[in-house]
């Protein structure tokens, strides 16, 4: 019998709670993100890292506001840069590190209410791998 888990929405349904926009260190900014977001908010791409990011090791991450959330989060509108939000925000939770061990997925599901727990490993790996590839192709277009 075919598994009941076939599509991304079978394992993830974002609740728009904004929890993933809170906490330091998560939202890495790629160079493509830097240029896209800067254009979107009409800022200078050359100053974007300095003005809107902090460094986590060698990688820039979006700065947090005083409320502990990403500076681009608005309690009413949610993500104010939604069309150009960083790759990491677009891809979540279809990230390969979350399927290296299915326990990683369940652990993250504890703080992300959109992730369904206890998905059979083979279904999780198949769906996340396929969805990540689809997102990567779309990012290259």
* Nearest to ligand SF4 of 14, 96 (CB atom): 14
Q: Is residue 11 a contact residue for ligand SF4 (CB under 6 A)? A: no
* Nearest to ligand SF4 of 13, 122 (CB atom): 13
Q: How far is CA 37 from CA 21, 27, 48, 63, in A?
A: 16, 13, 9, 13
* Residue that has been written with the tokens 């090791």 in this structure: 57
For residue 36, count other CB atoms closer than 10 A to its CB.
20
Q: Is residue 112 a contact residue for ligand SF4 (CB under 6 A)? A: yes
What's CA 141's distance to the chain center, in Å? 19
* Nearest to ligand SF4 of 16, 138 (CB atom): 16
Find the binder of ligand SF4 among 73, 98, 102, 128 (CB under 6 A).
73
Binding region for ligand SF4 (CB under 6 A) out of 1-9, 71-79, 96-104, 120-128: 71-79
CB 138 within 8 A of CB 101: no
Q: Least distance to ligand SF4 from the beta carbon of 90, Å?
A: 8
Phi/psi at 41 (nearest 5 deg)? Answer: -95, 10
Binding site for ligand SF4 (CB under 6 A): 14-21, 27, 62, 70, 72-73, 79, 81, 85-86, 89, 92, 112-114
């Amino acid at each position: 019998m075919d598994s009941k888990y076939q599509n991304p929405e079978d394992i993830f349904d974002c609740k728009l709670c904004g929890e993933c926009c809170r906490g330091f260190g998560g939202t890495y900014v790629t160079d493509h993100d830097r240029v896209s977001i800067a254009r979107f908010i009409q800022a200078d791409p050359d100053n974007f890292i300095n003005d809107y990011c902090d460094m986590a090791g060698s990688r820039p991450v979006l700065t947090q506001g005083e409320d502990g959330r990403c500076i681009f989060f608005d309690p009413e509108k949610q993500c104010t840069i939604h069309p150009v939000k960083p790759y990491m925000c677009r891809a979540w939770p279809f990230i390969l590190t979350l399927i290296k061990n299915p326990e990683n997925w369940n652990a993250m599901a504890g703080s992300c209410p959109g992730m369904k727990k206890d998905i059979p490993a083979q279904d999780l790996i198949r769906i996340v791998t396929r969805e990540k590839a689809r997102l990567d192709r779309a990012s290259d277009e």
